[in-house]
Amino acid sequence: MPTPVRKKIEKLVDDFVFAKKGERKANAISIAMLKEEKADGGRKLIDLESRNEAIELTKAREFFKPTEERPMWAILSDWILADNAVRKFKDTVGIENLTHPLLQTWRVNMNSKRLPENLKRMMRATYKHKAQFLPAQATQAMRKAMPFWYHSGTKRSVRPRYSDKWGTCQRLTHGIKTVGDMLSHAQKNTSWGHTGKANCRCRNCTLDRSRGCVDPIACRKNANTKLNYLDREWDPRQGHSTTDRVAGDEPEMTADDIAEGFEQTAQVFQVSDDPLKEIRIFTNWENRENEPTIVNNTQAEDLPEHQRRSRTVYTDGSCTGNGTDEARTGSGIWYGENHWKNTSLRLPGTQQTNNTGELVAALVAIQQNTDTEVLRIFSDSTYTINAMRKYIPKWTDLGYIGVANKNIVGALAGEIAHLQNSVWLAKVKGHSGNTGNDGADKLAALGAEKDTPDIINLEKGKKILDAGARLSATTQATLYRGIRQRKTKIWRKRTRENIEMTINTVEALTGVKHTEGAIWRSLLQNDPISTKASAFLWKAIHGAHKVGEYWKHTGVSDTHMPCELCDEPVESIEHILLECRATGQEEIWRLTREIWSKTGREFPHITLGMILGIGVMEIRDTPQDGSPPRPNPTLTRLLRILVSEAMYLIWLLRCEWRIGREANTMRLHTLSEIRS
């Protein structure tokens, strides 16, 4: 979509959101805030700029497809992009050797007037969102298939000599394009029948002279020199083989293992021999020379005889105060009764849930047992087992876009990707009297009670997350979410103040400190709080209602900002709901307390913070056996309905009097009107 068209549509969206009956209104909440996720306080309004970039990246996905799958327009575009490459690249090796802008280091000249606008938009989005060739591991076939000239794996410490006479001969006389071509050319000096003499008449030398090569032997020696330009990982002469595990490499499961439900962890990466299948987007991978691939390509070694054993562990997680700011999560790893390796951990950070505790337990169990041939893990967590058996490959392909707990899941994927032993998983029923599961559960509970959080090693997860998403696996929707995630979050000062007040007030009333996300999510439920009441609360938290301070810098501040009836200089939401004599709030709250009194429970103290946080307010019962207080769902539901409906009625009466009755003090709502 051309930029002028996008701006016109954005203007239409802006007018739709902020204009009423053709009259322009001041923006109470910015468009940028409205584009945020609902769980972050936004309304998920479409971001046209990000949507258009997602479309361009979808085009790039088709353009960078493997050779046999590429559409005709992509093949034709190869020549157009090469013809519009930065001039120094074209002059050095010719456009016929500029085959791929991501597998090679040449750049498209984005200022070229001959470059079509549609390709310019596609490449601009590709460069902006850091698309690059980043394979999980390099196979020998992939090394040979890579284009040689301006190879993306060229050492940064060398300055390649592509335009010398041998480079020209290799391109024009021998038609060398790929690393495999250059390797084959270099190996001719060691082929059968070759004498190494200047007048050698072996088949290869005779054929090369007939093509016009003036000195085949020197040309091939130079080919070996040029192969030295490549990083060790990309040099096909080094003989590295991929360490990725394949079927048949694993120890075989016994009948007992199968009966207990053990299954192998999923293979994180599906390694391909085609470089075009290894283009990734949203990367943060700068150290290409030291880490050219996601997984270190070290050759797996057989474990010593004394380490060729199996080990069985039970893992579990525990969380107290789940969903609140005071949540504490523990992980337990049980090896045996009073075993010296039994482990209790307390998780650091903000991701305090039962799921994270179970994930970390499995993660640390793998990290503790790299010295065994087979690690058997029993877990009662369906989430953890499914993640390790099924979902991690898909999540890794999609760059963990929209995946919860991605730093922990990514670390788990990183450990699995680097495994040189086998990890088998089996489900065990929780709280069923299983000694191992009960032991892990107790260890997890002990971990949650620790005073100091433990340090969890998530280093290998950083590499997985920095690798971004495999472009060929994405959809336009995934790309849009990925672009949105990379944008800076919008924080409004007024919103932040109201959120903090709400969290602190609810904590003072209930003893539970909720997260900001919990406050926003409570407004997304249409039951028991009505849709209209939720919308009112959402605007109130943002300070977006057109009352009080909203009118301060307008020409009508003298009449619109104060509450003249109450002689209040600023008619704030707090004043309207709790203090104003024109809204009927006093009678409405009296009736609300009267209804609540039938429950026999004390009515909570009404404040603005309590009203804004009504979606997370709970009524708790204290059991007589001394156990912790438990939520009473019936009374909680009643409280939320009463407070939200009372609040919204007060607002409606205020608006009816202020607007419909033109703030006429002679036309205040009567008690009978309020009660009816």
Query: 666: how many CB neighbours lie within 10 A of its CB?
Result: 5
Residues contacting residue 520 through CB under 8 Å, at least 6 positions apart: 38, 39, 40, 41
Candidate from 17-31, 50-64, 564-578 with smallest mean pLDDT: 17-31
Task: Tell me the pairing of strands 279-281 and 469-470.
Answer: antiparallel
DSSP β-bridge partners for residue 235: none
Task: Give pLDDT, residue 527.
Answer: 86
Tell me: the pLDDT tens digits for 85-124? 999 999 999 999 999 999 999 999 999 999 999 999 999 9
Label residue 243 by pLDDT band (50, 70, 90): very low
The chain-wide mean pLDDT, for the chain, equals: 90
Q: Which two tokens stand for residue 456?
A: 């969890």
C-alpha span between 46 and 406 (Å, rounded): 24
C-alpha span between 300 and 206 (Å, rounded): 43
C-alpha span between 122 and 116 (Å, rounded): 10
Would you say 100 and 232 are in contact if contact means Cβ atoms under 8 Å apart?
no
Q: Which two tokens stand for residue 519?
A: 């406050």
C-alpha span between 321 and 1 (Å, rounded): 48
* C-alpha distance from residue 85 to each of 94, 368, 376 (Å): 10, 51, 54
Q: Does domain 305-460 have CATH number 3.30.420.10?
A: yes
C-alpha span between 225 and 235 (Å, rounded): 11
Tell me: the pLDDT tens digits for 629-654? 888 999 999 999 999 999 999 999 99
Tell me: the pLDDT tens digits for 188-230? 999 988 988 988 989 999 999 999 999 999 999 999 999 999 9
Task: Give pLDDT, residue 31.
Answer: 86
pLDDT at 251 over 90: no
pTM of whole model > 0.75?
yes
H or E element in which residue 23 lies: strand 23-24
Q: Which two tokens stand for residue 227?
A: 């192969």
Would you say 65 and 472 are in contact if contact means Cβ atoms under 8 Å apart?
yes
Task: Give pLDDT, residue 102.
Answer: 94
If we measure between CA atoms, which residue out of 409, 412, 305 comes closest to residue 367? 412
Would you say 253 and 422 are in contact if contact means Cβ atoms under 8 Å apart?
no
Label residue 540 by pLDDT band (50, 70, 90): very high
DSSP β-bridge partners for residue 424: 264, 376
Tell me: the pLDDT tens digits for 142-155? 999 999 999 999 99
If we measure between CA atoms, which residue out of 298, 287, 238 comes closest to residue 132? 287
Query: 612: how many CB neighbours lie within 10 A of its CB?
Result: 26
Q: What are phi and psi of 109, to 5 degrees?
A: -75, 100
Q: Which two tokens stand for residue 207?
A: 């054929």
Domain ranges of the chain: 1-44, 161-228, 305-460, 493-675
**Between 350 and 610, the higher pLDDT residue:** 610
Encoded amino acid at 343, one letter: T
Q: What Rg do the C-alpha atoms of the chain give, in angstroms?
A: 33
pLDDT at 289 over 70: no
